Structure 1
Amino acid sequence: MRVDLLTREYPPNIYGGAGVHVAELSKVLADHADVHVHAFDGPRDGNPVPGVTVTGYDYLDGLEGNDAIKTFGVDLQMVAGVEGADLVHSHTWYANLAGHLSGLMYSIPHIISAHSLEPLRPWKREQLGGGYELSAFAEKTAYEGAAGLVAVSRAMREDILRSYPKVDESKVEVIHNGIDLDAWKRPESLDEAEAYFRSYGLDPDRPTIIFVGRITRQKGVPHFLRAVAQLPRDIQVILCAGKPDTVEIANEVRGLVEDLQKERDGIVWIEEHLPHDKMVFLQSMSTTFVTPSVYEPLGIVNLEAMACGLPVVGSDTGGIPDCIVHNETGLLVPIDQVDDGTGTPKDSTQFEADLASALVEVCADPERAAAMGKVGRKRVEEQFSWDSIAVKTMDFYRRVLDRF
């Protein structure tokens, strides 16, 4: 079986969880199928993932204007490259239109993995203007025409059916994201990790909270920073956060961080993208991970933290409860949200206070935090290995082909 994966991100150009997902999925699917990947950001030098055929596409010359228009130009090139595939599998709205058109062009099934949904990210109008209407159009058209859809969590499956009521629920399968268990694990010796930790002025004997993610409304960074203001001063915070969606949220986060740094030490903001080994060092030296998202289909960062032996304190929303077992692998923070697609807490002050309380609870008991981290590591080993996800995905492909 030839399977063609269509994606915005692929090694060496990965910016978020969806890119990590496609890279890892292609790697494990290569043991079961002839895998071809079509990606943005131009041709690749060599083969970034062994056993996988990769074609990279540049934006079309002369196609200027909104990024959504340029994206559609890449999608059209992808359609030509898909010829010969038995099945096409697209990831994110960037590639959904290419998948939909490929399905029509070659009479093959189009499968979509839902990493996020445009109707649940209305703040993107701040970024894209009319381009948001185009991304929403591409996603809606593709989802309603897809032969099968993969939801990365139970909540994502519900979101798909609520956002796109024309989708047949029998076509939507829950297959979680996975984790590279060998890449994400606490080093046997922490000497090098401790030295790197100290290089930021951090004290390994103090409790430390770490956040990893983009600066976007859905990640809840401003809520987290307001919660930090309520924490005891001995608690350190590492904010690994870059690539702000808008100037407005960038300025808001910068102002909140500067206010915290004026009042207390141990507030470290790392804006650059860290190499994988350095991220593992920081997580291995921290007390707990935090996911304050107001919208999160699953959150690969949760799995990465759990694989490093960290408990996770996360919002009780979206796919986060698929990762965190409350009081066993971390704590879930209640969040009552406005039902308008934004995920905004109805009472931000209460959410931030509850988040602060949960973080204090974990940081105040290092032995309990370590115990939850061990249970979390076991959970990702048993439930989120990529090998098991490859088997589930291939089974779904075969069932879709059988009924197509």
Structure 2
Amino acid sequence: MRVGLLTREYPPDVYGGAGVHVEFLARELASLVDLEVHCWGEGRGVGVVRHRSWSALDGANDALRTLSVDLSMAAALQGRELLHSHTWYAGLAGHVAGLLHGVPHVVTAHSLEPLRPWKAEQLGGGYALSGWAERTAVEAADAVIAVSGAMREDILGCYPALDPARVHVVHNGIDTRLYRPDPGTDALLRHGIDPTRPYVLFVGRITRQKGVPHLLRAVRDIDPGAQVVLCAGAPDTPGIDREFRELFEAVSRTRAGVFWIPRMLPRTEIVQLLSHAAVFVCPSVYEPLGIVNLEAMACGTPVVASRVGGIPEVVADGGTGLLVDVDEGFEEGLARALDSVLGDPAAARRMGEAGRVRAVGEFGWDAVARRTAALYEEILKGA
């Protein structure tokens, strides 16, 4: 079975959960199918073809540049028997290539443009184009993979013309060999974090979706003895960047031990930071699943997270962490939940241990790849 996997992000250019998903899915799929990855970037390697936007569009709206990459991908996919695209950035490539070469197209939806209206702030009129591209790809796809049950409901709610029988749930996964407790503390010391004091950890992009401003307002009211570590970069817009910086400076003036690491860290350092955190926090206001919560759980760390999207399918409330409703009292609820975990180390340890067991037992990438390859076979048999 010759499969073309289409994505914007692929190592070494991974900045979000969709990129993490594709990286590990591709690694496992390579032993099950004849796999060729098409992604953004320069150059070509074994099994990987990189595409860049047309130079004539340098400086144009990002959505237009994306469409040019999609056409480049579509032209390069001859000979593939099945196409599998990830996110709106590659969805139109799969759709057009499917029509051009007469092969099935599978879409994995990691998020949905209609549920991210704040992206208009980032893309301007390009947001209308990204929504059109996503709708076109999703509604025409031979199958749509949702990364959680909640995501499946969102897909059917946003695209009611879609046949529910074509929407399948295959959860995100985690490599529990890479993400496991690390006793070392050199990464903490390198960033000035005191390993003898508890700390709250956030890892993610500076976006409206990830809820970082909510977190910065919440941590003003938590135990003053706790440190706060923010591995936060890649702001979506100058506006959210300014808001983040102002809130960070305000928090830093009122409490000691607040750290901002504004760049992407190597995975080994992230694993060490996760392993030693007293609690990991995910304040997202929209999250189809949230791989980062699985990463924290695999490192034996309790999680405080929003009760949104697919997060409750990962974080067991009271078992592997605490869930907080996203409502008028969201920031107060975050502060209370964080203090609850910080104030009871024994309970935190039990939740962290349970999280590790859950991550290992239910979310391995080998199982994700097998379920995905089985869906490919089912589609090709029916084609």
Shorter chain as denominator, the TM-score bin is over 0.9
Q: TM-score if structure 1 supplies the norm length? A: 0.93
Q: Is 2:133 the partner of 1:138?
A: yes
Structure 2 SS opposite 1:303: helix
2:48 equivalent among 49, 54, 57: 54
Q: Which residue does the alignment assign to 1:219?
A: 210
Contact 1:43 1:58 in 2 (8 A): no
Could you tell me which amino acid in structure 2 is paired with residue 108 of structure 1? V
Distance in 2, matches of 1:183 and 1:169, equals 35
Kindly state the Cα deviation for residue 203 of structure 1 after the two structures are TM-superposed. Answer: 2.4
What's 1:125 paired with?
A: 120
Say which SS state the counterpart of residue 221 (structure 2) adopts.
coil
For 2:236 and 2:192, locate their aligned partners in 1 and report how far apart those are by CA, in whole Å: 29
Mapped to 2, the partners of 1:198 and 1:56 lie a distance apart of 37
- Unpaired runs of 5+ in structure 2? none
1: CA distance, partners of 2:186 / 2:382: 56
Partner SS, residue 150 of structure 1: strand
Alpha-carbon distance between aligned partners in 2 of 1:57 and 1:201, rounded to the nearest angstrom = 39
- 1:47-196 equivalence runs, <5 A: 47=46, 53-64=47-58, 65-187=60-182, 190=183, 193-196=184-187
Whole-angstrom CA distance in 1 between matches of 2:237 and 2:74: 31
Letter in 1 for 2:54: L
* In structure 2, C-alpha distance between the alignment counterparts of 1:58 and 1:291, rounded to whole Å: 33
Q: Structure 1: how far apart are the matches of 2:254 and 2:73?
A: 52
Deviations 1:173-204 (A, max 9, x none): 110111111111112xx2xx323313333322
* Residue of structure 2 equivalent to 1:344: none
The answer to whether residue 301 in structure 2 is matched with residue 307 in structure 1 is: no
TM-score, normalization: structure 2?
0.98
Aligned length: 382
Shift of 1:361: 0.5
Q: Name the SS of the counterpart of 2:350 in structure 1.
A: helix
**In the aligned structure 2, how far is the partner of 1:200 from the partner of 1:17?**
24
Question: What amino acid does structure 2 have at the position aligned with 1:8?
Answer: R
Contact 1:124/1:132 (<8 A) preserved: yes
One-letter code of the match for 1:182?
Answer: R
CA distance, structure 1, for counterparts of residue 195 and residue 25 of structure 2: 35
Deviates more, 1:291-300 or 1:56-65: 56-65
Find 2:351's aligned residue among 351, 364, 372: 372
The alpha carbon displacement at 1:205 in A equals: 2.6
User: What per-residue deviation string (whole Å, max 9, x for no partner) do you get for residues 99-133 of structure 1?
Assistant: 00111112211100010100011111111111111
Instruction: Specify the alignment match of 1:4 in structure 2.
Output: 4
Task: Tell me, in whole angstroms, the C-alpha distance in 2 between the residues paired with 1:262 and 1:12.
Answer: 36
Q: Distance in 1 between matches of 2:54 and 2:211?
A: 35
Q: Distance in 2 between matches of 1:196 and 1:7?
A: 31
Q: Distance in 2 between matches of 1:403 and 1:199?
A: 55
How much does 1:63 deviate?
2.5
Partner of 1:278: 269
Aligned partner (choices 251, 254, 272) of residue 260 of structure 1: 251
Question: Matches of 1:232 and 1:61 in 2, distance apart?
Answer: 52
Shift of 1:206: 2.1
Q: Distance in 1 between matches of 2:23 and 2:66?
A: 20
Letter of the structure 2 residue corresponding to residue 227 of structure 1: A
Q: SS state of the match for residue 74, structure 1?
A: helix
Further displaced range: 197-206 or 327-336: 197-206
> Within 1, Cα distance between the matches of 2:80 and 2:149?
29
Q: Which amino acid aligns with 1:239?
A: L
Deviation at 1:74, TM superposition (A): 1.0
Structure 1, unpaired ranges of 5+: 48-52, 337-346
Deviation at 1:85, TM superposition (A): 1.0
Q: CA deviation at 1:208?
A: 1.1
- Whole-angstrom CA distance in 1 between matches of 2:271 and 2:141: 38
How big is the alpha-carbon RMSD for the aligned residues of Structure 1 and Structure 2? 1.1
User: Residue 371 of structure 2: which of 388, 392, 395 is its match?
Assistant: 392
Looking at structure 1, the residues matched to 186 and 68 of structure 2 have their Cα atoms a distance apart, in angstroms, of 47
TM superposition shift of 1:11: 1.2
- Matched letter for residue 73 of structure 2: M
Residue 27 of structure 1 aligns with an amino acid whose one-letter code is: R
- 1:290 lines up with 2:281 in the alignment: yes
